[in-house]
Amino acid sequence: MAELWELSAAALRAAIGRGEVSCHEVAQAHLDRCAALDPRVRAFVTLTPGTALAQADHWDAARARGEALPPLAGIPIALKDNFCTRGIRTTCSSKILGDWQPPYDATATRLVREAGCVLLGKTNLDEFAMGSSTENSGLFTTRNPWDLDRVPGGSSGGSAAAVAACMSPLATGSDTGGSIRQPAALCGVVGMKPTYGRVSRYGLVAFASSLDQIGPFARSVEDAALLLQALAVPDPLDSTSLPVEAPDYRAALTGDVRGLRIGVPREYFAEGVHETVRTAVRRALDLFCDLGATVEETSTPHAEYGLACYYIIAPAEASSNLARYDGVRYGIRADNARDVIGMFEETRDLGFGDEVKHRIMLGTYALSAGYYDAYYDKALRVRTLVKQDFERCWERYDVLVAPTSPEVAFRIGEKAGDPLAMKLSDICTIPVNMAGNCAISLPCGFQDGLPIGLQIIGKSLDEATVLRAAHAYEQAANWQPRVPSLSP
């Protein structure tokens, strides 16, 4: 029999339902796996074995009493450490929050708990989700389970690595410019950014409010669909949460993509996207044709401006969102400051890392009197153009297919001296955040043993079609191996 940690969430849930395995055993198996591997992978900022076993025991007791179990009862999960967890340290991988324990749960935290998930711990990220490798974490860098000398991608690199290394079957992430999809691609797992407004942001520590969106990580499309189902609940605590009930995502996984109209925007295959990646995506498109979908080249002419606009809008919002870390109410506080302004300045200087400071300065500048129109306002206008590109596509296509990341996982430190190269990692994912659409990344091959990601982009609120396409491809392609060997 396979190890428990190898099983998908769906398989584990079925086994638990049949009484073949207890939630406690499932939790313990994953905790053991974490204990064995995480010292090398370093996916977790905080492990919560006590919470995990208590929650697992809770569901075992419920089953013993004959109660009906919720859809993800006993399934381990890891939460990105920018999800507020009541009474459990939430760091955003920043020194500035110290050992802050939120007095409340994020809506997403509550939803996965109510769905039955068992919390294994909180995962590493680039500080405040700003980065594409976890090298900007204020705590440590997470390793890619396929090659421990390489980055897992980011910012949700800890969650992607935890799922890839089978330390957890499920994890959550947040995606502001690609922070779920790019690490999913680099770690060879499935990661989805739902439509903006599909999942409540309440309790997700904000980076760029108009772009941030929570989504699932899993090793299969079906598992991602199960977790999305738990997360996609309208929330009165988030004004931007859309008041739309989610359809049954698992029911959408029919395996049938006959007649599916796929658009392939040529801008995503431009120079800078590695040849191997382009080839892998083209092969995936061939497979879609074989499955009965139609594939046609198209264009989203403003996609190339997405990155530039993103680096105005996201830092601008971040400069405001991160202004609250002033040492007054929580986190660290600089001692011996002259006065209150001095305390603000010294606390922020001590607590924030370079990338965060860099973006705060960028955003402050973009919003300053005299520059607002030239930068922020103009970026908002171009954002509308990016959005309109997609709207035009939806007149002819059901989904768009593109690479997720222009290249496979790079070596730790490789881009440390080249911030622009680092930022280009998100060139294929950012336009989707700008438009607010949904998109998924799933494995579509390997280059020298490193996974390549396929991105499928869908209309607003049409996660079901994206999942259906991804699932059909996944089943037909059946890429192996799915689990890294993690040999030393």
Partner 1 sequence: MAEATGFEAVVGMEVHAELLTESKMFCGCGTQFGASPNTLCCPVCTGLPGSLPVPNRKAVELVVRTALALNCEVNRACLFHRKNYFYPDLPKAYQISQYDVPIGVNGHLDVRVNGEMRRIRIRRVHLEEDTGKLLHVERDTSFVDYNRSGVPLMEIVTEPDIHSADEAREYLIALRRILLYIEVSDGRMEQGSLRCEPNISVRPRGTDELNSKTELKNLSSFRVVYLGIQYETARQALALEKQRGISLGASATVPGQPPLKVDVRDTALTQETRRCDEPNLKTVSMRTKEYAHDYRYFPEPDLVPVTFEEAWIEGVRAGLPELPAARLHRYTEEIGLSEYDAGVLVEERALADYFDTAARAYGGDAKKIANWMQSDWLRLFNAGGRDWTGVRVTPDALAELVHLQDEGKITGKLAKSVFETAWETGKTPAAIVQEQGIEVVGDEAQLLPVIDGVLAENERVVADIRAGKVGKLNFLVGQVMRVTKGSAAPDVVQRLMRDRLGLT
- C-beta of 275 vs 373, nearer to partner 1: 373
When the beta carbons of 240 and 298 are compared against partner 1, the nearer one is 240
* Per-residue binding letters, 192-231, with partner 1 (x by CB under 8 A): ---------xxxxxx-xxx---------------------
Selected binder of partner 1 within 35, 340, 374, 416 (CB under 8 A): 340
- Please tell me whether residue 336 binds partner 1 under the rule CB under 8 A: no
- 155 assigned to active site: yes
Of 1, 2, 68, 369, the residue at the interface with partner 1 (CB under 8 A) is 369
Active site residue 368: no
Which residue out of 8, 22, 80, 193 is catalytically annotated? 80
The answer to whether 159 touches 183, Cβ cutoff 8 Å, is: yes
Closest approach of partner 1 to the CB of residue 476, in Å: 40
Strand 118-123, strand 76-80: pairing: parallel
Stretch that binds partner 1, among 281-289, 326-334, 437-445, 451-459 (CB under 8 A): 326-334
Task: With CB under 8 A as the rule, give the number of residues binding partner 1.
Answer: 45
101 makes contact with partner 1 (CB under 8 A): no
For residue 445, the minimal CB distance to partner 1 (Å) is 37
Strands 399-403 and 450-458, by their bridges, are: antiparallel
Task: Confirm or reject binding of residue 84 to partner 1 (CB under 8 A).
Answer: yes
Query: What track of x and - describes contact with partner 1 for positions 305 through 324 (by CB under 8 A)?
Result: -----------xx-xx--xx
In the list 50, 103, 259, 488, the residue contacting partner 1 (rule: CB under 8 A) is 103
**Which entry of 155, 319, 405, 441 is annotated as an active-site residue?**
155
**Contact stretch for partner 1 (CB under 8 A) within 262-270, 340-348, 416-424, 436-444:** 340-348
408 is a contact residue toward partner 1 (CB under 8 A): no
Among the candidate windows 234-242, 416-424, 451-459, 467-475, which touches partner 1 by CB under 8 A?
Answer: 234-242
Q: Is 106 in the site for partner 1 (CB under 8 A)?
A: yes
Single out the catalytic residue among 93, 168, 174, 179. Answer: 179
Per CB under 8 A, does 401 bind partner 1? no
Q: Is 372 in the site for partner 1 (CB under 8 A)?
A: yes
Of 154-162, 246-254, 277-285, 328-336, the window that binds partner 1 (rule: CB under 8 A) is: 328-336
Q: How many CB atoms lie within 10 A of CB 411?
A: 13
**183: nearest Cα among 386, 450, 402, 417:** 450
Residues 134-193 that bind partner 1 (CB under 8 A): none
Calpha distance 198→249 (Å, rounded):
13
Tell me how far, at minimum, the Cβ of 18 lies from partner 1, in Å: 38
Query: Quick one: 330 or 394, whose CB is closer to partner 1?
Result: 330
Give the per-residue SS3 of the chain. CCCHHHCCHHHHHHHHHCCCCCHHHHHHHHHHHHHHHHHHHCCEEEECHHHHHHHHHHHHHHHHCCCCCCCCCCCEEEEECCECECCECCCCCCHHHCCCCCCCCCHHHHHHHHCCCEEEEEECCCHHHCCCCCCCCCCCCCCECCECCECCCCCCHHHHHHHHCCCCCEEEEECCCCCCHHHHHHHCCEEEECCCCCCCCCCECCCCCCCCCEEEEECCHHHHHHHHHHHCCCCCCCCCCCCCCCCCCHHHCCCCCCCCEEEEEHHHHCCCCCHHHHHHHHHHHHHHHHCCCEEEEECCCCHHHHHHHHHHHHHHHHHHHHHHCCCCCCCCCCCCCCCHHHHHHHHHHHHCCHHHHHHHHHHHHHHCCCCCHHHHHHHHHHHHHHHHHHHHHHCCCCEEEEECCCCCCCECCCCCCCHHHHHHCCCCCHHHHHHCCEEEEEEEEEECCEEEEEEEEECCCCHHHHHHHHHHHHHHHCCCCCCCCCCC
Question: Closest distance between partner 1 and the C-beta of residue 367, in Å?
Answer: 4
Report the alpha-carbon distance of residue 410 to residue 389 in Å, rounded: 31
Query: Which span sits near partner 1 by CB under 8 A: 92-100, 164-172, 291-299, 450-458?
Result: 92-100
430 is a contact residue toward partner 1 (CB under 8 A): no
**Residue 326 lies near partner 1 (rule: CB under 8 A):** yes
Minimum distance of partner 1 from residue 110's CB (angstroms)? 12
| Single-letter code of the amino acid located at 400 | L
Which residues form the interface with partner 1 (CB under 8 A)? Answer: 82-84, 90, 92, 97, 100, 102-104, 106, 201-206, 208-210, 236-240, 316-317, 319-320, 323-326, 328-330, 340-341, 344, 364, 367-369, 372, 376
Catalytic residue numbers, as ranges: 80, 155, 179
